[in-house]
Amino acid sequence: MVFGSLAIFFSYLDPSRNVSQVMARWWGAVLLYITRIPLQVEGLEHLVPGQTYVYAANHRSNFDIFVLFSTLPGKFLWVAKKSLFQIPLFGQALTRLGYISVDRANQAAAIRSLNHATARVKAGTSMIIFPEGTRATVGELLPFKKGVFIMALKAGQPIVPVAISGTRFIQPRGSLRVRPGPVKVVLSPPIFPQEFKRKEDLMAAVRQALEANYDPDFPYGPGDAHG
């Protein structure tokens, strides 16, 4: 609530949204600190300062958002499902921050949103996407949505797969309980869309990179009790 109010307020004073971006990063870091969620981050050395990227992350929990705010450098926007923009105050904050809503129930509107996202990436703004399209309740990756990869191909900027492990035990989908525990984030080397003729091949490459670094049992071992 506090962040939403401040984000809306500062967005009017700072049209560039630079202040709001700093606040979002601070919000994520503070929330992870007070909920006792330490981060282990690998792969930041793959990023070139000033380069525009499309970050493709797996999605298991609302805490993925705070983890990415705390991890990724530079200025970036999100492509998110429409329902998040309908949450009182929080949704208005997302709109004021310039994040892009996708209505999956309305194909024409979804295409317009993805075209808008493509234009923003071409103009130099990094973007975060969740290729699965929703928070999964299972360990393995869900099938990817094709729309965001069509956007990535059109935008032509490198895609960085971001594997997030551990958040599904911190606050899984449908749970209000927050369980303290570590989270591991691994950024793979960038994947260049120009090297692929078909979106299916690009999707497969991103999926392979995520599967190589995503550990569905982190920080526990397979078969251990997760409480």
- For residue 75, the model assigns a pLDDT of 85
pTM of the full predicted structure? 0.87
Contacts of 74 (CB under 8 A, 6+ apart): 49, 50, 126
For the chain, how many residues are written?
Answer: 227
Distance CA 81, CA 92 (A): 14
What's the angle, vertex CA 175, arms to CA 171 and CA 178, rounded to 5? Answer: 40
Longest CA–CA separation in the chain, Å: 52
The single-letter DSSP state of residue 174 is T
- For residue 161, the model assigns a pLDDT of 98
- For residue 225, the model assigns a pLDDT of 45
- For residue 185, the model assigns a pLDDT of 98
- For residue 119, the model assigns a pLDDT of 92
Q: Which residues of the chain have pLDDT under 50?
A: 1, 225
- For residue 189, the model assigns a pLDDT of 98
Contact between 110 and 103 (Cβ < 8 Å): yes
H helix intervals, 80-138: 90-96, 107-122
19-36: pLDDT as tens digits:
667 777 887 888 899 999
Contacts of 4 (CB under 8 A, 6+ apart): 89, 90, 92, 93
- For residue 205, the model assigns a pLDDT of 97
Distance CA 196, CA 200 (A): 9
Q: From edge to edge, which strands make up the β-sheet containing 100-102?
A: 39-42, 183-187, 159-165, 54-57, 126-129, 76-81, 100-102
Distance CA 8, CA 90 (A): 9
- For residue 219, the model assigns a pLDDT of 87
For the domain made up of 2-213, the CATH class stated in words is: alpha beta
